[in-house]
Amino acid sequence: MRGTPSSDDAASVEGEPAPDSGASDRAPAGSSRDVAYPAELERELAGIVERHLRLRPVRSDDAERLVAFHSRLSPGSIYRRYFAVRPLLTAQEVSHLTQVDYVDRLALVVVDAGAGDAIVAIGRYERIPATTTGEVAFVVRDDFQHLGLGHLLLDQLAQAAWARGLTKFSAVTLRENRGMIAIFEHSGFPVTTSQRDEEYYVSFSIDPAERRHASPALDPSSAE
Ligand SMILES: CC(C)(COP(=O)(O)OP(=O)(O)OC[C@H]1O[C@@H](n2cnc3c(N)ncnc32)[C@H](O)[C@@H]1OP(=O)(O)O)[C@@H](O)C(=O)NCCC(=O)NCCS
């Protein structure tokens, strides 16, 4: 969850078609693959708040929206997301966070269509090299927290990751981050946890067959 970007993995978003989904190609991948923007992950979010919210994959033209989103986060939210005081994102970080390959690195954003498509929440995974595990991280704008967007992002990310050959999610969060921990514990996935110092480690299979129940924040009408 610390989400420290590296400089060498900004990926192109153009090129080859998306790979087939399904368990048969669930193999460790060592490098990012270039794929097209996955429009099938877009959702209209009805019934979460009385706003016109949309969920969609992040795009490389989201850089300014991401900077604006970050500028509206409270210091506490930034600290819980990055484990550091980070009032501004560097250009390199913005590039890393908005340029993904949609397979090994995927971010979903929730945008407020009634406010110029302002980003109000982001969830992402990054495949840990040579594994089928994705490390996940989430951040929701303070005025949109506690509305179920965290649950929704985990749910949609897990489905997308499973379709792209990942089998597990892992995360590191702060022990005091009850909201984030509640999302994992109430997700229906078989979560295992451990703690060290102030950090809380979470790991779980994202196999839909192992999920005990759907996300509590989702009903079929809210993501169609
Ligand atoms: C953690 C975070 C992503 C949760 O997103 P969210 O949209 O507010 O979460 P949801 O509305 O889906 O609620 C998640 C659960 O946490 C609970 N919760 C939310 N805030 C809480 C708080 N401050 N204390 C205790 N529980 C809280 C909710 O009741 C809900 O519980 P449920 O599982 O019983 O429904 C969001 O608060 C956030 O962005 N925080 C700052 C960044 C951060 O902490 N990122 C994660 C670690 S890197």
Would you mind telling me the total number of residues written for the chain in this entry? 224
| Ligand 1 pocket mutation, candidates 136, 140, 199, 213, criterion most atoms within 8 A of CB | 140
- Give Cβ neighbours of residue 107 (< 8 Å, ≥ 6 apart): 57, 58, 97, 98, 100, 122, 123, 124
pTM of the model: 0.85
Domain spans of the chain, in order of start = 36-210
Residue with tokens 């969060």: 173
What pLDDT, in 10s, does the model give residues 38-73? 999 999 998 777 789 999 999 999 999 999 999 999
Mean pLDDT for the stretch of residues 14-36: 42
- Among 49, 52, 20, 18, smallest CA distance to 35 is for 18
From the CA of 152, give the closest atom in ligand 1: 12
> What is the Cα–Cα distance from 126 to 110, expressed in whole angstroms?
18
Residue 192 has pLDDT above 50, yes or no: yes
Q: Whose CA is nearest to atom 32 of ligand 1?
A: 182
What pLDDT, in 10s, does the model give residues 125-178? 999 999 999 999 999 999 999 999 999 999 999 999 999 999 999 999 999 999
What pLDDT, in 10s, does the model give residues 98-134? 999 999 999 999 999 999 999 999 999 999 999 999 9
Residue 91 has pLDDT above 50, yes or no: yes
Q: What is the model's pLDDT at position 25?
A: 45
- 36-210: CATH topology: Aminopeptidase (3.40.630)
Q: Ligand 1 pocket by C-beta < 6 Å: which residues?
A: 1, 77, 80-81, 137-140, 145-151, 173, 177-180, 182-183, 186, 216-217
| Ligand 1 pocket mutation, candidates 139, 155, 173, criterion most atoms within 8 A of CB | 139
